[in-house]
Structure 1
Amino acid sequence: MKKIITLVIVSALGGIFTLGAYKLMFEEEKPIIASSPETQATFLPTRNVGNLMYSNEAPDFTAAAENTVNAVVHVKNVTMSSGETSFQDFFYGRRSPHPQVGTGSGVIINADGYIITNNHVIKNAQELSVTLNNNKTYNAELIGADAKTDIALLKIEADTELPFVTFSDSDNAKIGEWVLAVGNPFNLTSTVTAGIISAKSRDLSGASTQSFIQTDAAVNPGNSGGALVNTNGELVGINTAISSQTGSYIGYSFAVPSNIAKKVIEDIMEYGNVQNGILGIQGGDLNSDLAEQLDIDETEGVYVGSVVEGSGADKAGLQKGDIIKEIDNKEVSKFSDLTGHLNAKRPNDIVRLKLSRDGELKTVSVTLAKNDTYVMPLVGRVKNTSQADLKKFKAKNGVKITQLNDEYAGYWEKNGVVKGCIITAINDEPVYSIDDVKNLIKNRSSYDALRIELINIDGEIERYNFR
């Protein structure tokens, strides 16, 4: 037995020796893989170490917040509502109106108690009250409002001078600049959130009528009408809207630029309404697809599709096909850039436009005109008439149709009503200007018929009755 065990051990040792000798003599040598010191070193915070040394240079919001919170107020709006018509109303009669309370924010803009807020915050108000940050409450008077810009002006009578926020030039606000949003979300007292300006000249309507400042400062229901301020505590904008499917903040908020808000309230205080300076063009944003259709190389700017007859643009020589590149030395890449600048202007203000025409740049000065057009329900756009227009149709008064409503254009044209025809009366009242048209439409109940008297292309007087 011992001999057998010895033989097995000797055989095993012989096999090990033979295998080792084979590997040593015949197998190719391979390198050992290991982590290199250089690879590990790339994870060291090289340049970041330097940046950390300057962390104390991050913006300090405390002074701006202290200067703003006491000038931002809580606005309460009491309206009378009957609610939506229900099935029970048909059996038991319509329920009597009951008070409904809405809330928002506002910004004190001078020591005398003038307050800016949003039009939608005070819309249809039966009672308005304002609560300051010190919990004092005052009745508020509505001085005026503008639905187009969503800006309203209130006034309270306080027993002392009030803290207020000063305006900054919103044209000078930069993308990436830090801002604070101050308001009363969810009926809380003044709340401050911080963010940056994400974009400028944002249009949410799709009709190029708006020019908001976009930020990522958290804004929620109740913030409407509150302040958007820079790190100096100066008013950059009035917080107005959020982009959300839930109704609460998810990343983007929008503010009316301070230049527009300031101009609107100055107009309300001086004239009682907003004075809009009209350039007098119709057009749209340029992009690659449109540039290809028009066979041009430009992809940025506002393409002039048509020029309104008798407007400032017409008198300055603007033409169809012009591309507006700048206004008052400010770049215009889309229509809302143009809209935002013009919304801070009045009739008779002069703006300088840089145009591209047939590949050549030229600069022209345009005197803005008062808006003499109005979009009339069912009909389309109308404007004040000239004596030549009235003489042509043998009319004593009226407004001129300049563009037919797209939905009803076929109906009107079939009855001989085209661009250039004259509307002489609405609801049996003669009209002499678009102001007459606005007032008659505004004072008309939604249940009333709309009666229109006009002169068609053949010079015949016709009357139409819409319900």
Structure 2
Amino acid sequence: MSITRTRRPDAVAAAAARPGAARLLWAMLATLALAAALALGAAREAAARGAPESFADLAERLSPAVVNVSTSQTVARPSRPLGPRLPENSPFRDLFPELFGDQGGPPRKVSSLGSGFVISQDGYIVTNNHVIDGADEIKVNFTDGESLPAKVVGTDPKTDIALLKVEPKAPLPFVPFGDSDKARVGDWVLAIGNPFGLGGTVTAGIISARNRDINAGPYDDFLQTDAAINRGNSGGPLFNMDGEVIGVNTAIISPSGGSIGIGFAVPSAIVTKVVSQLREFGETRRGWLGVQIQTVTDEIAEGLGLDAARGALVSGVVEGGPAAQAGLQVGDVILSFDGKDVKQMRDLPRMVADAEVGKPVRVTVWRKGKTHTLKVTLGRLEESEQAAAGSDDAPPALGAVEALGMKLTALTPERRAAADLPENVEGVLIEAVDPEGPAAEKGLRPGDVIVEVGQEPVRSPADVRRKVKEAREAGRKAVLLLVHARGDLRFVAVPLED
């Protein structure tokens, strides 16, 4: 008789000798192997997402470069409504000074707080323009308790970025910029700032969305995050997990003014270019094309014969501007700029702004069913030029017909005067609009002037009817009109009735 010293191997061997038990054993082993593989896969996936066990090391390393920006501004006291006239020694004056005091009063100082971050050891600091806008005095407060006066190097209201400079006694801790274009939805981010004046506060979250347009400016391309951003966080940095700044916290959507998990940051891809120009020139120097543009809708694309709604539709060209000199025309659809596809209208302003002033670029346009490539030498964007609506490339008129649910008539001098239309507006006058017709659905009104139909000038109501007929015979679902309405030129795609 032998003595078994190790029972488990013997038991396994015995079980394996029985066919049914063997199958059970292999099933158990396979289940354990699968569970181990799943656990390993989950661990690898978590590592790939960069989910940290703690943000403590990152926060400790980055916080010294994040600052509090304190501003003060002198403002006039608002006028107060006067109460009844009372003697100077009346006790009511002391009891109710807000009613019986003097109107207005001496100017008072208003203070506000924001955030910022150091980008160089010699004292350059980035913040939001709205944090320091109108300030008489700016102070930068550091985490070690030091406070330094700051001067404004330059500002850019269009992207809400400002660059400040302090004169430190010793090199300052600073943080580098990262590449916001590499940030993906779902990536972890860290926000450090000064919410509600509480001092350095750290919050964490993820990138919720990219390329957000919140109508804050002409170059909206925000990163959206659910990291808590509150009042006072403005101008603070949004970090990736490598400790690089990929955004400048700028705005939130909230009914109460507090964070509800919808915050927006200007991406570093925009900030770095702005900061570089402010640092070098004290101002931005953006490219300028000299066009007014609008979105290409599905109906407009159909009216133009485009395969899809893409590009930017030129609705105005600034007289004497770079686009006009290169031959761009009203009705062109800009499909690519400097070798990059213009997928949607709002892409173009950013492309042009990022381009070098004076640089010749190739612009591909869709014009009357064909593509054309033009060479444009960019100018420099200026407020007066940007505000220009563009020149009218319009035509003349004659007659009286009905089309597209409108009564059209010739634009005579008498009708021009009655409609209070400028002398340079020519075309066909809309005299009446059927409220149930397709033109009414698109917002056309009596007094509007049809300048072009299908990108061809119209000089009489008969011209309009002929062009509509041609569009219908070509199998189009809509016809494209260029209309002078309420002082502006705009394209309207009106559905063709069956």
Q: TM-score scaled to structure 2, two decimals? A: 0.60
Alignment of 1:301-320 (within 5 A): 301-320=311-330
1:94 corresponds to which residue? 104
Which of 273, 288, 306 is the aligned partner of 2:283? 273
Residues 150 and 356 of structure 1: is their aligned pair in 2 closer, same or farther, counting only changes over 3 Å? same
2:11 corresponds to which residue? none
1:359 Cα deviation (Å)? 5.8
Question: Contact 1:201–1:337 at 8 Å: present in 2 too?
Answer: no
Which of 121, 137, 140 is the aligned partner of 1:127? 137
Equivalenced residue count is 348
2:68 corresponds to which residue? 74
- Secondary structure of 2:354's partner? coil
Residues 361 and 48 of structure 1: is their aligned pair in 2 closer, same or farther, counting only changes over 3 Å? farther
Question: Contact 1:105–1:183 at 8 Å: present in 2 too?
Answer: yes
Question: Contact 2:332–2:367 at 8 Å: present in 1 too?
Answer: yes
- Secondary structure of 2:308's partner? coil
Q: Distance in 2 between matches of 1:76 and 1:160?
A: 21
Q: Distance in 1 between matches of 2:313 and 2:324?
A: 15
Instruction: Report whether the alignment pairs 1:184 with 2:171.
Output: no
1:357 Cα deviation (Å)? 4.8
Give the letter aligned to residue 205 of structure 2.
G
Q: Distance in 1 between matches of 2:219 and 2:422?
A: 32
1:381 corresponds to which residue? 388
Which of 99, 117, 127 is the aligned partner of 1:107? 117
1:108 Cα deviation (Å)? 0.8
Question: Contact 1:211–1:339 at 8 Å: present in 2 too?
Answer: no
Give the letter aligned to residue 218 of structure 1.
A
Instruction: Report whether the alignment pairs 1:323 with 2:317.
Output: no
Alignment of 1:155-170 (within 5 A): 155-170=165-180
1:116 Cα deviation (Å)? 1.0
- Residue by residue over 1:387-429, the C-alpha shift from the partner in whole angstroms, topping out at 9 and shown as x without a partner, is xxxxxxxxxxxxxxxxxxxxxxx99x9597869xxxxxxxxxx
> Runs of 5+ in structure 1 lacking a partner?
1-40, 385-409, 420-467
Which of 358, 372, 377 is the aligned partner of 1:348? 358
2:487 corresponds to which residue? none
2:248 corresponds to which residue? 238
Give the letter aligned to residue 183 of structure 1.
G
Residues 346 and 190 of structure 1: is their aligned pair in 2 closer, same or farther, counting only changes over 3 Å? farther
Alignment of 1:244-259 (within 5 A): 244-259=254-269
Q: Distance in 2 between matches of 1:170 and 1:216?
A: 16
Q: Distance in 2 between matches of 1:319 and 1:168?
A: 40
1:22 corresponds to which residue? none
Give the letter aligned to residue 242 of structure 2.
N
Residues 171 and 328 of structure 1: is their aligned pair in 2 closer, same or farther, counting only changes over 3 Å? farther
Bigger shift: residues 44-53 or 205-214: 44-53
1:457 corresponds to which residue? none
2:88 corresponds to which residue? none
Which of 199, 220, 227 is the aligned partner of 2:237? 227
1:152 corresponds to which residue? 162
1:269 Cα deviation (Å)? 3.0
1:77 Cα deviation (Å)? 0.6
Question: Contact 2:117–2:174 at 8 Å: present in 1 too?
Answer: yes
Residues 174 and 305 of structure 1: is their aligned pair in 2 closer, same or farther, counting only changes over 3 Å? farther
Question: Contact 2:131–2:235 at 8 Å: present in 1 too?
Answer: yes
Q: Distance in 2 between matches of 1:416 and 1:340?
A: 33
2:436 corresponds to which residue? none
**Could you say which structure has the larger radius of gyration?**
1
Q: Distance in 1 between matches of 2:179 and 2:334?
A: 23
Query: What is the percentage of aligned positions where both structures have the same residue?
Result: 40
Instruction: Report whether the alignment pairs 1:291 with 2:301.
Output: yes
Question: Contact 1:64–1:230 at 8 Å: present in 2 too?
Answer: no
Q: Distance in 2 between matches of 1:375 and 1:353?
A: 20
1:199 Cα deviation (Å)? 3.3
Q: Distance in 1 between matches of 2:248 and 2:215?
A: 18
Question: Contact 1:144–1:268 at 8 Å: present in 2 too?
Answer: yes
Instruction: Report whether the alignment pairs 1:205 with 2:215.
Output: yes
- Residue by residue over 1:146-196, the C-alpha shift from the partner in whole angstroms, topping out at 9 and shown as x without a partner, is 222211111111111011122234344444443322211111232232333
Q: TM-score scaled to structure 1, two decimals? A: 0.64
Q: Distance in 2 between matches of 1:70 and 1:206?
A: 30
1:325 Cα deviation (Å)? 4.1
1:382 Cα deviation (Å)? 8.1
1:221 Cα deviation (Å)? 0.6
Q: Distance in 2 between matches of 1:359 and 1:195?
A: 48
- Secondary structure of 1:228's partner? strand
Q: Distance in 1 between matches of 2:58 and 2:73?
A: 34
- Residue by residue over 1:38-59, the C-alpha shift from the partner in whole angstroms, topping out at 9 and shown as x without a partner, is xxx9xx9999656433334441
> Runs of 5+ in structure 2 lacking a partner?
1-30, 83-97, 392-415, 426-498
Give the letter aligned to residue 52 of structure 1.
A
Question: Contact 2:67–2:115 at 8 Å: present in 1 too?
Answer: yes
Give the letter aligned to residue 388 of structure 2.
R
- Secondary structure of 1:53's partner? helix
Q: Distance in 2 between matches of 1:194 and 1:355?
A: 44
RMSD: 3.6
Q: Distance in 1 between matches of 2:179 and 2:376?
A: 23
- Secondary structure of 2:115's partner? strand
- Residue by residue over 1:69-103, the C-alpha shift from the partner in whole angstroms, topping out at 9 and shown as x without a partner, is 22111000111234543324785221222221100
Instruction: Report whether the alignment pairs 1:117 with 2:127.
Output: yes
1:301 Cα deviation (Å)? 3.0
Q: Distance in 1 between matches of 2:305 and 2:420?
A: 35
Q: Distance in 2 between matches of 1:116 and 1:336?
A: 26
- Secondary structure of 2:121's partner? coil
Give the letter aligned to residue 240 of structure 1.
T
Question: Contact 1:114–1:156 at 8 Å: present in 2 too?
Answer: yes
Question: Contact 1:208–1:335 at 8 Å: present in 2 too?
Answer: no
Which of 17, 42, 50 is the aligned partner of 1:52? 42
